[in-house]
Amino acid sequence: MNYNSRPQSPYGQPNGQPQYGQYAQQQYAQQAQPQYGQPNTQMPYGQSYGQQQFNQQYVNPTAQGGPTVMDATAVSSSDTIFRATQISTARAYGEMTIGIAISALVALMSQATGLLYTILSATGAFGWIGLAIAQVALAIALGAKVMSMNPSTARVLFYVYAALMGLTLSSIFAVYSLGSIVLALALTAGFFLCLTMLALTTKIDMLKAGPILLTALIVFVVAQVILMFVAPGALGTMLFTGIGILLFAGLTAYDAQSTRALFQQYAGDTTMMKRVSILCALNLYLDFINMFMYVLRLVGSER
């Protein structure tokens, strides 16, 4: 027998049969290849069944018919803006409260020391005119320039404005009793709080009513000045008192929603958030003071 013609072992050269390695490759290929028209149900190499289930349920939940999971970054950003808005809104109302406290303190000190009467005695009618012009000019300057001012400067100017307003308001002690003033202040604070909570929780968009309310305010002020000279009287005073309360109630709700919208717009910019706090505090302060004066006219008893 010729040794060379002997069929060799499968581990050597093939004798018409495939090698062990080729046979295994063909078998693996037959198992791995899906049939025509059928999806490949084989799991990727190295991926366990538990890992595949995790991916289907959490990474791609729609594969199991589950809800789509929101992106973690988007959720975190939304939560950050929401918290920053809440904190900044509380800060604006805190600034407004400080302004009201300064006005009340200056009014009480002026009443106790007679400061306003001393100024008016020395300056006459020019004193009233000067105080009015100073308040209007300061309010306009703050409203127009606060978004470009240094936040600390804007805050100081707001407190100065509140002090000037308190000096002017000290004159109400000569007209109304202390009990009436306290009652009007308490009613205004409660009314203001309820309006703010309603505005910040309702789905009604008060921002759309802003131009209407501002136009109504201008018309109201002009009509009130004309009525003082044309037809002064108790009936006209009571009518304008009721209209004034309703008007500033609407402006309070509008400014509450405007405050929240501005903080959402400038979320992330610390400097702008501080400036917006002063601007919104000024608007809310004016709403409160004007509403207080009209409520005092309605429920106050004169001396």
Q: What's the whole-number average pLDDT of the chain? A: 79
pLDDT of 96-113, one tens digit each? Answer: 999 999 999 999 999 999
Residue 73 has pLDDT above 80, yes or no: no
Token pair belonging to 55: 């991916």
pLDDT at 49: 43
* Torsion angle, alpha carbons of 214, 215, 217, 222, to 10: 150
The CA-atom distances, in angstroms, between 298 and each of 108, 222, 240, 292 are: 22, 21, 10, 10
pLDDT at 128: 86
**Single-letter code of the amino acid located at 205:** D
Closest CA to 93 of 264, 269, 266, 263: 263
Pairwise pLDDT comparison (33 vs 289), residue with the higher score? 289
* CA terminus-to-terminus distance, the chain: 142
pLDDT at 254: 95
Q: What is the pTM assigned to this prediction?
A: 0.73
Cβ–Cβ under 8 Å, residues 285 and 99: yes
3-state secondary structure 242-266: HHHHHHHHHHHHHHHHHHHHHHHHC
Pairwise pLDDT comparison (257 vs 12), residue with the higher score? 257
Q: Where are the domains of the chain?
A: 74-299
